[in-house]
Structure 1
């Protein structure tokens, strides 16, 4: 595509934006030219429309028509799958910045917890299935358990249901794809956002696109932010990031786009509360107990090069290659309710809260390259839009632990699995919080050796076809083969072991879309996915967490977990195609599930003995109801059930970390050119703690689930004031009613993440 300069029509649109008109009015102005042939009325380039859709402060966009993955050739409304798109404007107005917070609010998505190296604070579950390794950036897998920020993100796409044709291994319940900001030769643009708020909130971002010549441009995105976790003073979040993008279009048919991305996140983490089994509820109103030495550091560096070449009018080539490195490390403090031992010299038998240490580190180096050939052709009397693809990935992961020393004297004696031990308690003999909790333990630490070296090299081939069978019936068809070579050298409870095996995975996707009218369709879709034994790179041989099951010999003989999805849905374009509505019913069946025998640390896997099912219905709305009223909403009503298990007591139980009902709505109303306001509401029904992708923990004595995350709802508000064409002020109020709520639970209930308390921020946006 030739994007060397803005056409006159695009200049008209950009000018309308600069003088404060809405994007809708600008688009209507362009429509006037549709029947004219003069140069002044030339159609605007895609980049010019991007300028309106993405960068307009005066009018926010809550709907996007196309996927950022170029392999999705049909418009989203004609794609036979549920795909939720969160636009940059919507994300910014919501006040959320980390990808974890953005996804947490969405229907059909929940969070999980981690321990000792596995996905601390960065674990997503889509439609009941693990997705922490199914995060992509611009269609390329983004490995590593890191903190992910939105400062360089144009939109986030959440694909629901298995999508291995696009994603490869994994993606049992879906995948997340972030679309990054890229340099463009179509315009010069600058924007600065500066925010301050409660809880020592400070955030500064810059977005600058500058054309160098008619055929080249650069774009700079920068970030600095710092804050305390709202409601938990002393729990800190610090971010520094930069992305530099460069585009060069030497000819009308050839373009190169490269970017360098860097993010450094330094947090003091919080494991939150714990589940009080006697009360049947998480402990409330706990003091901040993180130690002064606690940290969660995440560093990401990537380089990406994209090449696009139009070989002919109907044949196009696209390659994206990325080299990356991520580092994630943490030492954090846990807390549990217990009683002082009878031998405790201060308060024998008294109830107290004792502290524990959780820690680990992970280094990831990877390279991935994806080649696509797009061919529009006709044969057998039908027009086909074909995609032929090849993808190569190589991921190398080192997991390890720290050697930690607690140098301060202990202050209590408590019981445990290993008998009576000295510990650190944050309650004194009278049950009051002790002074200077953060200095109780006095930790020092050194980085220890690697205890699991994971490597997986994968070669993938795929073909996809989008075609019209009749005037009313379209079809999408895809097949993919992944050939992988896996090794994992582990040490720990079972000693040193080398796991090594290879296999081939085959997956497919078939979708039909039937046009009911000019504005609506009905679709049906069948798709598959596969998970390999030990596919989660952060776990070593801890089978109970989703890691390797069995001995090296057993692991090599294990079949991949198989996932099948059937989905029937409908999508409608309403209100002059400004609003899209969708609804779908689905059933996901996962068979040959790997299960562990005994406790969660067992390395003896039963292998391929489990089967579970998730079924439900999901609704969505996105776009403009009127020129003044925008909406983004989704709702999911689901049911999960264990169908087979080596343990008969698991049959019929719900999956862990699974919410039957979830709902999200964000609305925006702009009564005039100077003012806009809105907010969002999210609800999530109760969940039950347990091991990943397996039955939730259940107490057969009480006939109740062991660990319960209570249901919750959260209300957030925002208001925009457009002071001038270039200057906008926004106020966000998060958790308006200051509710205490919990977002996820560890399998034993020993920690439960706490949601943010009420917070207020003010943001100044300046365009130039």
Structure 2
């Protein structure tokens, strides 16, 4: 490990070359998609992982039943049958995955939690890390693979709870095509197309496209619009040498959803002891005695201020050659992701929702203390992420001394860059409390019960100025730029010692160099850089009582170095970005995770149905903790214990199932320390003291103890399909806060006053039900109807530590016409 702090008088032009890619072959519990022309038919789902092994996954060194990992694959048929149109939609059908919301420095975009750990930075496309924050589509997706447990051996840095790998649709050696059009309530409109043309005996061209436009059922004002296209070509199909080129483009434009605020703050929550606080929904009475109703449709944002626009462009080139039973493959990918938004966060932190006990004596504008108001805090960001990636893989089979090996070795090189800034707004952030006559008049504060998204908000030079000004980007001095360079080598081997005993090994070494560049002033630049060497490994032993069953045990590690996300997510282990915090650099080190897992698998009914069960424990033993402004320690500890059950495939001809159950006992064993300040007494200066964190012993945030999903589809009379999905998720906690305080005597003796309140911010558990029916009118034409959230349940789909939670869409019903050719 090396560190480097650099200042220069002016900004330097930064040029970097490099690349990085990883193509994890997650070979377990695979539900393999049928041929594209069969998507709307009644064909059974196939699950023979070895026969359907994907060339896109060179690290897939063993068939399903012989892989000692907990992995689930969502195929294109399941994605379509559930009516999923985004990555988040699709992942909700997998038990054990929850979703976090955007807040503060965490950008808007996909933020899944796997086994209690934030996996926002562990999402891959065709095995290549897709770091840029975005809301991903599924129109060009062939399947989605979810690996659970510590996974840095496969995916590189991070991956504490698991990884998500999105497999793209690529050209096939035949002609086929399909188009579909959907329309439903909330002005739901969606059109997709998929065309594959065999242009010669050895070449094929494929292109997918989407146009999507909808409001959000049950939510006022919110809308979303996007379009995308993904052409690709392969030369050399059916030959030992193959070349593939792919381009992907997606543009989105939306009014982002601001959710609902929590009811209370620590200061104004009524009662004592442990207080569970949920978002405001339904009937609510403020401190001042005002009673009203907060409907699920209530929207606190502003139509003329809020927006979110994103652009994603990806180019991939792949060359591969077969040498008998061994294949050499090189993948290169360039990605450019851009995002800009102004997002209203309905902020509860100032006590305006329930009300405050007293008027701020420094406020001359007439504070509103009775409650019933919401501050329209604006989270803003503009930025981009670029990555240049190159990966070389050599994989195949070999035999040494009568022992069979299925192996994969490779190298990765990556250059990644992110840059971000904000927009300049006057939103009342300098007024305390936030809601008074002046901020209400400027629409920076609005009614809790009857907000108007059409309020004529305008921007001012400052909160105290009467001069209006356009919204502009922050100056260069407020921007941050991050770079990451990765060099990695890895290897995997599935060793069949005897037919009943298989040893699975993997190891990976990464050299990760990253830097954070900021501009403290207009003429100076602060650059902080660091290099970390990471070694991770995994090992598993598989015992096979029969050819179609297995028992296994496995161990795996992961490591999250400082600046792992390059600012594109919640950075728990960030590099310092100011001169005042640059002294942190020498204290930093990677956070490390380890996972233990025992499991059993079975492939039944001629490999048509696959069952899996696993018990596991995942530990982080050195989580970063901020002790005081000048000191950090790696003393935090978290532990997750649980078990999972999975089923996927065909029960009877024409009857398919997908889903499972997950139980997670997720605890913060040691949250480190927090600081309290004992105020000055006479000539005695204030003292800072350390106390155990309020998080110690609490449930890990963003983790549901119990979750269940089940999707089924039944074909009747050869033409009619009926299906549905049931989703259950228990209560999810966002964060904790208490009111301990410190006082001192004139002699300097400090006393800690114990907490009289402990706040548990959370969202309640829920059941959600979806339904589907489809009918084949002809061999090539079918119609389908999807009803999502059939009971119109009002539930929260995203939970954050403070301020607010995201509320899910209401009942959404849409019909689809599919045409194949």
TM-score (normalised: structure 2): 0.81
Show the counterpart of 2:433. 416
8 A contact 1:329–1:359 mirrored in 2: yes
Structure 2 segments unaligned to the other structure (5+ residues): 1-31, 271-276, 282-294, 461-469, 674-691, 741-754
> Does the 8 Å CA contact 1:675/1:721 hold for their aligned counterparts?
yes
Contact 1:549 1:596 in 2 (8 A): no
Taking structure 1 as reference, are residues 762 and 417 closer, same or farther at Cα in structure 2, changes over 3 Å only? Answer: closer
> Out of 522, 531, 537, which is 1:508 matched to?
537
Aligned to 1:401: 422
Aligned residue number for residue 82 of structure 2: 94
**Is 2:155 the partner of 1:167?**
yes
1:561 aligns with 2:591: yes
Q: Paired residue for 1:43?
A: none
The residue that corresponds to 1:281 in the other structure is 278
Could you tell me which residue of structure 2 aligns to residue 755 of structure 1? Answer: 808
8 A Cα contact 1:194 1:203, kept in partner: yes
2:575 alignment partner in structure 1: 548
Supply the distance in 2 between the matched residues of 1:327 and 1:714 (Cα, whole angstroms). 33
Q: Do structure 1's residue 490 and structure 2's residue 518 form an aligned pair?
A: yes
Instruction: Give the alignment of 1:168-567 within 5 angstroms.
Output: 168-184=156-172, 186-249=173-236, 252-277=239-264, 278=269, 280-284=277-281, 285=295, 287-292=298-303, 293-311=305-323, 313-336=324-347, 338=352, 339=355, 349=370, 351-404=372-425, 415-416=432-433, 422-423=439-440, 433=450, 437-441=454-458, 444-448=470-474, 449=476, 451-490=479-518, 497-538=526-567, 545-548=572-575, 551-567=581-597
Number of the residue aligned with 2:730? 685
TM-score by length of 1: 0.86
Cross-structure match for 2:27: none
CA 716–60 in structure 1, closer or farther in 2 if over 3 Å, else same: farther
Contact preservation (8 Å) 1:61, 1:87: no
Secondary structure of the residue that 2:120 maps to in structure 1? coil
| 1:487-526, Cα deviation, whole Å (9 max, x unpaired) | 1113579x96422111210000111111012321101111
Structure 1 spans left out of the alignment, 5+ residues: 1-48, 691-695
1:669 alignment partner, one of 690, 707, 714:
714
Q: Is contact 1:198-1:761 (8 Å) kept? A: yes
Are the structure 2 counterparts of residues 375 and 446 from structure 1 closer, same or farther at C-alpha, using a change threshold of 3 Å? same
- Choose from 638, 660, 666 the match for 1:640: 666
* Alpha-carbon distance between aligned partners in 2 of 1:308 and 1:727, rounded to the nearest angstrom: 37
Offset of residue 425 of structure 1: 5.5
Provide Cα deviations, 1:312-358, integer angstroms capped at 9, x if missing partner: x1221011110110001110112245148856669774532232211
Equivalent runs, 1:47-58 vs 2, <5 Å:
52=35, 55-58=38-41
- Is the CA contact (8 Å cut-off) linking 1:163 and 1:172 kept in structure 2? yes
After TM superposition, give the deviation of residue 767 of structure 1 in Å. Answer: 0.2
The counterpart of 1:572, out of the listed 598, 602, 609, is 602
Counterpart-to-counterpart distance in 2, 1:524 and 1:249: 41
* C-alpha separation in 1, matches of 2:760 and 2:547: 51
Q: 1:264 to 1:471 in 2, by over 3 A?
A: same
Aligned to 1:607: 633
Q: Deviations over 1:560-586 (max 9, x none)?
A: 111111100000112222110000000
- How far, CA to CA, are the matches of 1:413 and 1:172 in structure 2? 39
CA shift for structure 1 position 65: 3.8
Range with greater deviation from structure 2 (438-447 or 228-237): 438-447
Mean alpha-carbon deviation: is it higher for 648-657 or for 624-633? 648-657
Offset of residue 624 of structure 1: 0.6
Deviation, structure 1 residue 733: 0.6
Give the CA deviation at 1:644: 2.6
Secondary structure at the aligned position of 2:632 is classed as coil
Q: Does 1:59 align with 2:11?
A: no
Number of the residue aligned with 2:287:
none
Per-residue CA deviations over 1:410-456 (Å, capped at 9, x if unaligned) read 9x997438999734559889x76265644345694222236211101
Larger relative contact order (CA 8 Å, sep ≥ 6):
2
**How much is the aligned-residue C-alpha RMSD, in angstroms?**
2.8
Shift of 1:151: 0.2
Deviation at 1:195, TM superposition (A): 0.3
